[in-house]
Amino acid sequence: MKISCLLVGESSLTVEKLQSFFAQLSVQVEMIKVPQDVDQIAEMIFEQSERQVDLLMILGGVDVTNTAVSSTAVKRICDERVYTLETHLCEMLAHHKECMLTSPTVGMRKKTLIVSLPRHEAVLQIIPLIFEVLKGG
């Protein structure tokens, strides 16, 4: 399974936590830092889907008070939205008051599942669920 993770405005500490987390799951993930720019994020989503990445996670840039650039980019570039998974992720994040003003977005472009999530440790509970969904078809 090919997995990439776009880190929007992430600190190096977050990168270290994510790398450690993915290592525990025995999953290889390509981490790519991107600026908080909707056009550049959309371009990276396009490039990753052209590379036939199975899962593209975008962490950061979903805060609605800061224009939710990642969610906007996913909506621009995806072929279709995956509303059931998107709704489920929103419900899971709603238990964390820091995530109440985020806009997680899930879509597909070609065969790439694209998931934009907030910069919050709660995503570490969500990522295994996303892997299971992807494995399940």
Q: What's the rounded Cα separation, in Å, for the pair 68 and 38?
A: 9
In this prediction, residue 137 has a pLDDT band, given cuts at 50, 70 and 90, of low
Instruction: Enter the pTM of the model.
Output: 0.89
The CA–CA distances, whole Å, from 40 to 6, 11, 46, 73, 74 equal 11, 18, 10, 9, 11
Q: What's the rounded Cα separation, in Å, for the pair 80 and 113?
A: 10
Q: What is the mean pLDDT of residues 43-72?
A: 92
Q: Which amino acid is at 42?
A: A
Q: What is the mean pLDDT of residues 99-127?
A: 88
Measured at the CA of 124, the angle between CA 55 and CA 131, to 5 degrees, comes to 35
Does the structure show a pLDDT above 80 at 35?
yes
In this prediction, residue 71 has a pLDDT band, given cuts at 50, 70 and 90, of very high
The predicted pLDDT at position 130 comes to: 87
Contact (CB, 8 A) for 114 and 102: no
CATH topology for the 3-136 domain: Molybdenum Cofactor Biosythetic Enzyme; Chain A (3.40.980)
Q: What DSSP line would sit under 20-86, residue for residue?
A: HHHHHTT---EEEEE-S-HHHHHHHHHHHHHTT-SEEEEES--BGGGTTHHHHHHHHH-SEE-HHHH
